[in-house]
Amino acid sequence: MASVQPLVYERHTILRGFEEPEEKLSERLGHSLVVVRLEVSNPAQRRKDREATENLAASTGADTKMVNVSKAPFKSDALVGMRKIHQQANSFLDEHSIRWETGERIIPLESITEVISELERFKSQYETQKEELKKELPQMIQDAPHLLGTLYKRDDYRQMDSHWAAHHWVEQKFQFHLGCEPLVTDNSFLGSKFDQLESQQRSVLEKYRLEGEANSRYTAARDMYTRVNKVMNRLTTQLKGAKPGGKKPKLYDSLLEEAQRLVDLLGGGCNFGNDPLLEEARVRLRDLLSKCSGLDELREDDDLRQDMQEEAAQIRADVLAKMDSKFRS
């Protein structure tokens, strides 16, 4: 009897050493197994405070590499809940599947309805907790100075300086993604074999195919919103004039280059959903950049610099206000 060699982790090869030809084995098993992906992002609840670490090392005579001061930026039951749900979902999937490639598990096609249904239940619970976190966030930010004392730093919360920014921060940092697809997706499966599946099995596979496409578009749109906010914030900050007795913020070539790249991206087809808010941001930023020939002019002309700074601040305020309105609705 031929010896059976270990599992080979490739999509189209499962076991070697069987009398059955590899192609037939791959086809038979590949069409009866489903790849499931569970991707949950829960950022670390604590972060290192470098300044406090250095102060502690200095006061104790310790090497900074031997001590560490960390702090939790928030105190939230929702954060605890999301982490618990993540652990429960992972445990459930581990018990009902076999490890496959990195980040993937495989389950029998006949189990897809039950397994995905349970994972969707975990996802629903996770999303509920995430909505609670969005509601809690303004109060948590307000409570932070009292809870952290001298460890509080306003800059730790700059990413959440508006309703839209706070909403976006939560959406970006806390995600629960599910995906599934047949182990083998050749033409025979996509054709007649797909039609032979039970209606519930077909529905699950088709649903996650469409969701995968929608998630890609959503990720792209979210990235564009982030870039608009980042570019406008940088322009507003670096174009400011000098403080009394101080120097003007230094201007770098990348300031205008980054802004122009954003205009080009939005005008080059990356506004996938023809979002009027992104188009407004593109046009106003384009017109703003057309006011100067380059950094040399901005360095020499204080009036132009002030004018562009004020207009950049107004554009950012207008766009953020509309983003807030959009995400509140």
C-alpha triplet 292, 293, 298: angle, nearest 5°? 55
Read off the pLDDT of residues 75-104 as tens digits, 9 standing for 90 and up: 889 999 999 999 999 999 888 887 776 777
One domain for residues 48 and 167: yes
One domain for residues 141 and 268: no
User: Can you give the pTM of this predicted structure?
Assistant: 0.57
For residue 27, pLDDT over 60 is answered with no
Q: Give the total number of structural domains in the chain.
A: 2
Q: Report the mean per-residue pLDDT for the chain.
A: 77
**Is the Cα dihedral 88, 93, 99, 105 positive or negative?**
negative
One domain for residues 176 and 259: no
One domain for residues 120 and 46: yes
User: Token pair 């598990």 is at which residue?
Assistant: 105
Residue 211 near residue 231 (C-beta atoms within 8 A): no
Q: What is the mean pLDDT of residues 250-265?
A: 85
Tell me whether residue 185 is in a domain.
Answer: no
DSSP per position, 109-140? GGGHHHHHHHHHHHHHHHHHHHHHHHHHHHHH
One domain for residues 176 and 235: no
- pLDDT of amino acid 6: 39
52: Cβ contacts below 8 Å, ≥ 6 apart? 69, 71, 151
- pLDDT of amino acid 274: 76
- Count of other CB atoms within 10 angstroms of residue 91: 10
One domain for residues 232 and 99: no
- Count of other CB atoms within 10 angstroms of residue 236: 19
Tell me whether residue 21 is in a domain.
Answer: no
One domain for residues 256 and 152: no
- Can you tell me the distance from the alpha carbon of 289 to that of 310, in angstroms, rounded to the nearest whole number? 13
- pLDDT of amino acid 111: 78
Q: Name the nearest CA neighbour of 239 among 316, 156, 322.
A: 316
Both tokens of residue 249?
């913020």
Tell me whether residue 191 is in a domain.
Answer: no
Burial class of residue 207 in the structure, from the number of CB atoms within 10 Å of its CB (0-12 exposed, 13-18 middle, 19+ buried): middle
One domain for residues 130 and 76: yes
- pLDDT of amino acid 23: 52
Tell me whether residue 227 is in a domain.
Answer: yes
One domain for residues 230 and 153: no
- pLDDT of amino acid 121: 95
Tell me whether residue 24 is in a domain.
Answer: no
- pLDDT of amino acid 114: 86
One domain for residues 173 and 60: yes
Q: What is the mean pLDDT of residues 143-157?
A: 86
For residue 73, pLDDT over 80 is answered with yes
The four Cα atoms 59, 60, 62, 65 give a dihedral, to 10 degrees, of -60
- pLDDT of amino acid 218: 64
Tell me whether residue 236 is in a domain.
Answer: yes
φ, ψ of residue 46 to 5 degrees: the values are -125, 150
Give 165's pLDDT tier (boundaries 50, 70, 90).
Answer: confident
For residue 134, pLDDT over 80 is answered with yes
Domain interval for residue 230: 223-240+250-328
One domain for residues 236 and 164: no
Least confident range of 16-30, 121-135, 257-271, 273-287: 16-30
One domain for residues 167 and 236: no
**Is the Cα dihedral 19, 20, 26, 29 positive or negative?**
negative
